[in-house]
Structure 1
Amino acid sequence: MDKVVNYYDLIDEDSRFSRNSRKIEFLTTTHVLNDVLPQQAKILDVGAGTGVYSFYYAERQHEVVAIDITPRHVSEIQKKCNEKGIELKAYVENATDLSRFDTESFDFVMCFGPLYHIIDGDDRNTCIRECLRVLKKGGHLAIAYINKYSVIPMLATRDPKFIRDGVIDKVVNQGVIVDGDADCFWTDAYFTSPNEIEGLLMDFDVITVDHIGTDGISHTIQEYVDKLEETEFNFWLSYHFQTCREKSILGISTHGLYICQKR
C-alpha cells in the first residue's frame, strides 16, 4: 500500500468535494445514511481521508473514530479537531487490520475508500471481515466502490490515450490496475460492479439494506454538471435522488454505495 500512501501524499484530498460533479457523491451519501443511522451512534470511519464524513457526523453529535493509512491525512484531521474544538479520535491504521478496536464496539462502520485501492482479493475479504467484526449485531456497514463500467467512459472524456485493449481488459475483466504498469492511469486500484459487490458481501451472510449510485453520471459528464448554477444544480440533485437506485443508472454510476446489516 506504499504506492497508495505516496499518491495521497501528493494530492489535495480536502478539495475532492468542491465541485458540483464531485460533491453530489457526498450529498447523496449523507442523504441516504441519515435515514439509516441511529441517534448518537458510535461510528468508525475506515479510510477517512481528511475527515469530511467524520466531521459531518461528529458535528451532529455522533461519536466518531477515524482511521486512514496516510499519516498526512490523520495529521490534518487532528489539526482540524483543534481548530474546530471537536472531539474526534483519529489513527493511522490499515483497513485490513482493525485490531486496535474491540469486537462489536461500533454501531455503524463507513468504509468509503479502502476498496478503491485493495487490489488483492484476500485482503479485500480481510477488510470486510474486520469491518463486520468491530460492528455490533444489528449494526450497519456502508461500503463505497468504484464501478468498473463507468471507468472507460470517464477516460474517454479525460485521458483518451488510455482507451485501448490492455486498459479495457484490466478494468472490465481483471478489475485491477497496478501502479507503474503501462496501462495504469491512477495508482493501485480495484474496480467492481454492482452485481459483483452484492455477491461479495453475500459471502459474509449480511442483510442488504440499500444500494445506490452516489453520483450517477455526474462524474462522467462533469464539464456540464460543474457549470450548473445553484438553482439548476438543486434540480439536478433532485433528479439524482429520485433515480440513484434505478438499476440502469446504478450500472453506470462512477461511485456505488452498498449498505448492509450485520445479523
Structure 2
Amino acid sequence: MSKVIQYYEAYTEEIRFTRNSSKIEFLTSVKALSPQISDASCILDVGAGTGAYSFYFAERGHQVTAIDITPRHIDAIRQQLASSPHELELEARLGDATNLCDIAAESYDVVLCMGPMYHLVEESQQRKCIEECLRVLKPGGILAVAYINKLSILPMLVNKEPDFVRESVVQKILQEGTIQSGEADCFWTDAHFATPSSITSLLTSYAVKEVDHLGTDGVSHTISRSVDVLSEEQFQAWLLYHEATCREPSILGLSTHGLFIGEKI
C-alpha cells in the first residue's frame, strides 16, 4: 500500500467533493445511507479520507471513529475537528482496513467502507477488508461498501486520458480489473475496479443481506467537464434526474462509483 499512501500524501483529498461532478457522489451516498442509520448509531468510517462522511454523520449526533492509512488524512481530520465550532464525538486515527485488530468484535452499529476497495488489488486483501468490517459490526448492523465500476473506466479515459485508450488497457481493465503503479498502462495509482455483480457476489458470499445498491454518480464523472459548469438550477435538475435513475441497472452498470449497502445477518 506504500504507493497508495504516497499518492494520497500528495493529493488534496479534502477538495474532492467540491465540484458538481464529484459532489453528486457524496450527496447521493448520504441520502441513501441516512435512512439506514438509526439515531445515535456508533459508526466506524474505514478508509475515511479527510473525513467527509465522518463529519457529516458526527454533526448529526453520531459517535464516529475515522480510520485511514494515510497520515496526512488523519492530520487533516484532527485539524478540522480542532477548529470545529461544534462538540463532535469524532475520533481519528491511523489504521489499515485489512487489519482492525485494535477494535473489539461487534462494537459498531454501522461500518462505512467508502474507499478501501478502490485500492485493494488482491482478492485476498479485499476479503480480509470485508471480514474485518463484518467482525467489528454488530449483528443487524449496516455495512456500506463503495467501489469503482470497471465498465466506466474506458468511457472516462476516452473523455479525459485518451493516451491510455489502447488495446492493452482495454484488456487489462476488462480481464484483470486492476492497475498498479509503475506499469505502462497505469493511469492512476494501485487500483481495483469491480462490477456491480462482482461486488454483490463478494458481499453476499458472507452473512450479508443486500439492502440497497446504487450508482452514486452515474456518468457525472465521465462527463465532468460539462457537469461542472452547470448553473445551480441546472445542477439541481441534473441531480433530480440522477436520483430518479441511480438504481436503474443500466445506469448502475456505467456509474463510475457504486455503493452496496448491506445488513449483517
TM bucket (normalised to shorter chain) is over 0.9
The answer on whether the counterparts of 1:81 and 1:87 sit within 8 Å (CA) in structure 2 is no
The answer on whether the counterparts of 1:154 and 1:220 sit within 8 Å (CA) in structure 2 is yes
The answer on whether the counterparts of 1:208 and 1:260 sit within 8 Å (CA) in structure 2 is yes
Gaps of 5+ in 2: none
How far is 1:86 from its partner? Answer: 2.9
Over the residues paired in the alignment, what is the CA RMSD in angstroms? 0.7
Who is 1:239 aligned against?
A: 241
Please tell me the residue identity of whatever aligns with 2:217.
Answer: D
Distance 1:196 1:248 in 2: 15
What SS does the aligned partner of 1:21 have?
A: helix
Q: Deviations over 1:87-138 (max 9, x none)?
A: 3111111100011110000000000000000011101100000000000000
1:216 corresponds to 2:218:
yes
Q: Which moved more, 1:145-154 or 1:196-205?
A: 196-205
1:100 corresponds to 2:102:
yes
Who is 1:206 aligned against?
A: 208
Who is 2:34 aligned against?
A: 34
Who is 1:57 aligned against?
A: 57
What SS does the aligned partner of 2:35 have?
A: coil
How far is 1:205 from its partner? Answer: 2.6
Who is 1:165 aligned against?
A: 167
Gaps of 5+ in 1: none
1:11 corresponds to 2:11:
yes
Q: Deviations over 1:148-189 (max 9, x none)?
A: 000010000111110111111111110110100001000000
Runs of 4+ in 1 over 2 A off after TM superposition: none
- 1:71-82 matches, within 5 Å, as 71-82=71-82
Please tell me the residue identity of whatever aligns with 2:142.
Answer: H
- Of 196, 199, 207, the match for 1:197: 199
Distance 1:171 1:46 in 2: 26
Distance 1:199 1:87 in 2: 35
Who is 1:123 aligned against?
A: 125
- 1:244-259 matches, within 5 Å, as 244-259=246-261
How far is 1:230 from its partner? Answer: 0.6
What SS does the aligned partner of 2:261 have?
A: strand
Distance 2:65 2:177 in 1: 30
Distance 1:137 1:49 in 2: 26
Who is 2:21 aligned against?
A: 21
Q: How many residues align?
A: 263
1:90 corresponds to 2:92:
yes
- Of 135, 138, 141, the match for 1:139: 141
* Identical-pair percentage: 53
TM (norm. structure 2) is 0.98
The answer on whether the counterparts of 2:62 and 2:89 sit within 8 Å (CA) in structure 1 is no
What SS does the aligned partner of 1:35 have?
A: helix
Distance 1:118 1:174 in 2: 13
